Amino acid sequence: MIAEDLPLPQLIQHLVAAAMSQEDPRAQAVRALERLTKWQPMDTAPKGSQDIEDTRDPAYVKPPLILLRFGTQGMTIASWDAYYAPGGAGEHKRDGCGWIIRPTGEPINMHYSAEPDGWMHLPDPA
């Protein structure tokens, strides 16, 4: 895992550790701020456990909530659901759409005709 993929509290701890180890923390801080404020390409969007559909499985990793952008159509908060994704057991139920709007649980293709073209981390709740 690289520093830019860490949640904000762990990212701050990483930056402090880097500063103490003589690494240039300024460059890391700039990258961290960019991660929090710039749209990322969809192929880098976090999906949690892509091959484990059973949330009771101890190896299951819950996908995080992220902000998805749909060009000029808008944005929504969503997360990946491997059950409905291509290859998942529920693929036939939602046309293989793995991105699910939260908290409603509706697939994004019910509301957006375009595929998401970018994603961004949500700020940590205060």
Spans of all domains in the chain: 3-38, 40-126
Contact (Cβ atoms closer than 8 angstroms) between residue 102 and residue 126: no
The pTM score is: 0.65
Classify the C-alpha dihedral 113-115-118-120 as positive or negative: positive
According to the model, what pLDDT value does residue 91 have? 74
The region of weakest confidence among 58-67, 80-89, 110-119 is 80-89
**67: enclosing H helix or E strand:** strand 66-69
Q: Is the predicted pLDDT of residue 1 greater than 50, yes or no?
A: no
* Selected residue with higher pLDDT from 105 and 33: 105
Closest CA to 2 of 22, 28, 25: 28
* Selected residue with higher pLDDT from 90 and 25: 90
Q: Is the predicted pLDDT of residue 116 greater than 90, yes or no?
A: yes
